[in-house]
Amino acid sequence: MVFFMQSLLSSKGVVLLGVLLCLSCSVGDEQKNIQFLKKAIRASEQGVVLDADVGVQLGAEAEKALKNGVPLVWVVTARLWQSREIIWDKKIAEVVYRYQISYHALMDIYRVKDEQSGAENTFTSLQLALNEIGSLKNILITADRSISKNNLYSIGLLFALDKERLPVPLRLVAYYDPEWALTSQWNIWSF
């Protein structure tokens, strides 16, 4: 009985060590497939608006899944903070946008859908579809026009594949396979 318990404990330790090794290997690969090329904040009649260009490249496994009919949903999160000296920064606004890319084999086209507005566009190549997803124009961060020129503000942008929207059998693979490391780190700048 004692031998059985010791072997069980040691096998749990080996499994735990294996899981930790997998996690440590996949975390370092984040952001190599997603790069922020250009970003700008501007004031408009609606409020504070973000424009950005994000370069997106799919790993071989993600591209294979897309070609086999698995739609990929991208989440763009933008946060606006007011910088303060005495206490932590004040979060002014947070917006989340979702874009879905799917492949239609019969027509040999890629479809990009803006899940907020329902607008859809079709493209003849994967790179054109990825360029469309990465072209963020007129993203309304906040309708609050009381942004003061006397204060310092920070904006953060995160671009990520929504792994929870993948089919269940593919989710586990997507969380641990470096080919599926399609999440940027927070890109933060001040204005």
pLDDT score, position 14: 39
pLDDT score, position 7: 45
Tens of pLDDT, residue by residue over 72-90, are 999 999 998 888 888 888 8
pLDDT score, position 139: 83
Q: Mean pLDDT of all residues in the chain? A: 81
pLDDT score, position 131: 94
Average pLDDT of the segment spanning 52-68: 92
Identify which has the larger pLDDT, 142 or 172: 172
pLDDT score, position 40: 87
Percentage of residues in the chain with pLDDT exceeding 70? 82
Percentage of residues in the chain with pLDDT exceeding 90? 39
Inter-residue long-range contacts of 51-54, CB under 8 Å, 24+ positions, other chains counted: 51/136, 51/137, 51/138, 51/139, 52/136, 52/139, 52/157, 53/134, 53/135, 53/136, 54/133, 54/134, 54/135, 54/136, 54/159, 54/184
Residue spans per domain, the chain: 1-30, 31-190
